Structure 1
Amino acid sequence: MKNILINTAWRKIGSRKTYIISELDPVEDYQTTFYKDRWINEDGQEQHLIITFSLKYRAYRRKIRGRQIEKAISSLDHHSILTKRSTNDYKRLLSEEHITRYGEVAEKSLVELDMKKIAEEERYGGFHAVCTNLEDKAEAIVRINHKRWEIEECFRIMKTEFKARPVYLSRQDRIRAHFLTCYISLVLYRILEKKLTEKFPEENFSCHEIIKTIRNMNMMISPGDGYIPTYKRTDLTDALHEISGFRTDLDIVSNRIMKKNLQQ
């Protein structure tokens, strides 16, 4: 595994060139998935090992791990937190010491951030491995496998940003309406994200940043005049206006212009 993760000789779909991971362009190569593959034999079974690397996937994992580190820091005072740990639980980033520096058993355990664990996860950030007995070309498998983490991200967005769960409803029609609303919101967000990425590939706006900005773009009604923006203008609001084809950050947006914006 270590040999296949070396920095050089990476490929991408549709190209015969080889690439060096450390020399990738953070803008031009952000959306690209690079891969290596080879056949291995484990316990007498032939398997196709495919390793992929993506700058976008690395940024995605860093963002998740950053939130988990924040949770881990806020829970340092709770001494029973390490009773259960899973691969996606923030508790995995904590270590617990029951012995003093003199080798004696401590009455109280010392819980702290496991910096070695965090560094190890950062080292492998952006990589993903899959083993299969399919005889398809590596490029075809990479195309399919690339969608898996994006699907995972969709579920995470539905759960965190759109509060799809928990559901405090009992009637079936209302439960369906709730999830339909969340799903439509996700589709609209993905379309918006795609347009932002195509128009401003160097920005890399995060999901949380985009949704929070849109939610805060409030307007105050000025009777007889129209609407006055009450939000702060940023690079992201400028980008949103650019891809939308209209602006709401003027001193006063007249009723006529607002109606036109809504129709558009």
Structure 2
Amino acid sequence: MNIGIIGLGNMGRALYDLFLEEGHELFVGCPHEKDIATFQTRDNADVVDHSDILFIATKPYKVEEVMEEISPKVEGQIIVSMAAGVSLKRLQKMAPTEKIIRILPNTPIAVGRGVIAYTPGYDMSEEEKASFEDLLKGAGEIIEVDEKDLDIVTALTGATPAFVAMAIEGFVDGACACGMKRELAYAMAAKAVAGTCDLMTEKGLHPGQLKDGVTSPAGATIEGVMVLESMAMRYAFAQSIIKTVEKGKNL
């Protein structure tokens, strides 16, 4: 498939690498030279000429400018917007095509363990949906959601890698304070977090079950749990999502 990508930041580059590995023809529009082996240009309209599907991977505030630039060249291509906070209604006003899809990926797509939520802006057939999901399946889980939930997805899957990374930093600081080398602590903490998530999803366990499974009466783990409870850890995480959603709605 001929795939255009406008914008080559973290998300755009992750999709570029995925599509390149899968053998697609790629055409990239980017204002700066990037270390890529395929067609690239500073003129985004040139990308449209070569593409069957076009991914807009710019910052939200740049979307309208990009749409104005490419509109004269759009002739039936599917446009996929990755911009948080830019609604389908706004996109449909900007673009000269009804074939618009919103997606919200997260950074783990770079290792094939990500989540991509998508909302079609037109009446996609089941065959079209299956084809679109197949195109992106190498990135991880592909899930169709109602647009009203996309702002929540921005926080729940898009921002949580940052929050989890902060938690891992804290765990490692504690291990380091107790005498463990930082490099070893990072490796072990990351594996422990990843394994816990796999255990939860693969066994269908509630997070409370995972916690209870390792908190023996009067044991060491319950001591740490009580410290986190005293600091309102769960409330802090909940607020991090709520505030991220609120900000996302106003981008």
Per the normalisation by structure 1, the TM-score is 0.25
Instruction: Specify which structure has the higher proportion of helix.
Output: 2
Instruction: Specify which structure has the higher proportion of strand.
Output: 1
The higher-RCO structure (CA 8 Å, 6+ apart) is 2
